[in-house]
Amino acid sequence: MLRSAHVFLLLSVLFAGSALAQSPPPESVEPEIPDSPEDEGLGPEQNAETPAEDPTEPRSESTAEPQPVTPPLESEPASLADPDGLPAENASDATSLAENLGSPRQAEAQHAVLTSEHVAESSFEEVTLEVPHLQLDPLPPVCSPTRRALAPIVALTVGAFVSGAGQYTLCDPAAGRRLIGARVVSLGSLFLGGGGLVMTGASRKTIPIFAGLAIFGIGGTLFTYLADVYGALTAGANAGRPAPSSTLELAAGYRFVHDVRLGDLHAAHLRARTWFGTTRLNAEADIALGGDNQRLSLGIRQRLAGNPGRGNAFDIQSGLTFHRYGEHSFHSLVLEVNAIGRLHLETIGRNMRGSFVEGQLGLGYQGFAYPNVDRGLSDFNSLLLAVVRYGVYIGESGEVSAFYNHRRDRFAGGLALDGVAAGNFGHIGLEGRGFFGNGRFGLAGHLHYGSALTFGLNLLYRTQPDRPEEGATP
């Protein structure tokens, strides 16, 4: 009996050893350790009571292998397939990471890192695109109070001989060099024009060319001096700017003419101007209040550069003027065409802000009629039309200017000079205008001096300004 029990025990041991030899060894899997008890949705007490997993026991298929990340279907919209906005290449990287990692939570954490990196990169690109490249103007140089105080004195004295001396003193050498260049060109034009007049004996065939050069030479020389003095005095503090344009402008006023040859004249002055796009129409009339004297002028101006108004511009203008001297039994008819340009001097130097220069050059053809002798025109002659003007803007709608006008067929005529210069110069003058209140009503005045002295004052009315500032003179 004892022998039988020993045999049965031996057979049992052998059977158990063969069963253990045939079964596979258990997989070595590291237990998943959550970051915190709260991440598993359990409190600290529940996690503490949960028994640890026995590494010797075999794991079921549901827990032994990680769940693969199912890629989105191609037919799904991007918002459903990828709610985090992750690009396709980053989504595939997250999927491969989920398949290689032993924990879906680690794959999700890596997926969140990739998503945040993509969002940060996209935000950086958007900020880069939205911020433009800013080109900042250089700051003006700091000028000492002593130099600022000396600049007007230097401009008034030394500037008469060395153009731009005031701007050099005011720490703006670039503007000083530009004024020197303008002075050199002006003097060259003056000498060339004056020399041509002397050499040709002021021939009618060449006088428009040489006289025009001489006039602009004189005007340019004076302009560089006045601009230097103005810049030294104001140092760019004048905030005036050109008046904006309006569709319609009307003027009505009084004109007085003191002429020692033809007698004094009191006249009503009327004017209307209107813009059609870049074209301006002008009508002007002077009607004597106590005599037989009338003057009517019609003109059309085409803007080639600049916007309608009174700022930087270049125009071509043509006009027709009829003047009837009934008391003296003669009439005058003038047909003209000329070019007009205006430049803001702030383009030359910041200290000259609020000032401008203007030039006009053209030709006219004038004929006279004598009703008591015949009814046709006779005594034809050509006219050189040239104007040089320097002015300053006042406020948002005003300006004051001084000028020389070479034409002699206006009320002021030409300067009464003796000798060779007699009859060869036009007139000089001052003009100003401005609006007040709501900008619709204003005043304009002028003072011209030649062989006669004229004075005028007008009340202005314009429609609401509706165009940006840009343009040329009246």
Taking the C-alpha atoms of residue 164 and residue 175, their distance in angstroms, rounded to an integer, is 7
DSSP code per residue over 163-220: TTHHHHHTT-HHHHHHHHHHHHHHHHHHHHHHHHHHHHTS-TTTHHHHHHHHHHHHHH
- In single-letter form, the type of residue at position 170 comes to L
Phi, psi dihedrals of residue 391, rounded to the nearest 5°: -145, 170
The answer to which of 209-218, 231-240, 419-428, 448-457 has the lowest mean pLDDT is 419-428
Domain ranges of the chain: 142-235, 236-462
pLDDT of 456 reads 95
123-136 residue pLDDT tens: 444 444 444 444 44
pLDDT of 139 reads 47
Residue 334, strand partner residues: 321, 366
Average pLDDT of the segment spanning 317-344: 91
Q: Has this prediction a pTM greater than 0.85? A: no
Under CATH, to which class is 236-462 assigned? mainly beta
Residue 376 predicted with pLDDT over 60 = yes
Contact at 8 Å (CB) between 217 and 196?
Answer: no
Q: How far is CA 391 from the centre of its chain?
A: 21
| 226/263: higher pLDDT | 226
The answer to which of 6-20, 34-48, 394-408 has the lowest mean pLDDT is 34-48
Taking the C-alpha atoms of residue 237 and residue 227, their distance in angstroms, rounded to an integer, is 14
User: Which of 8-17, 20-29, 265-274, 388-397: highest mean pLDDT?
Assistant: 265-274
80-120 residue pLDDT tens: 444 444 444 444 554 554 455 445 555 555 555 555 554 44
| 68/334: higher pLDDT | 334
Q: How confident is the model at residue 257 (pLDDT cuts 50, 70, 90)?
A: very high
Q: How confident is the model at residue 61 (pLDDT cuts 50, 70, 90)?
A: very low
Pull the structure tokens for residue 154. Answer: 């230097």
pLDDT of 67 reads 53
275-311 residue pLDDT tens: 888 899 999 999 999 888 999 999 999 999 876 666 6
pLDDT of 317 reads 94
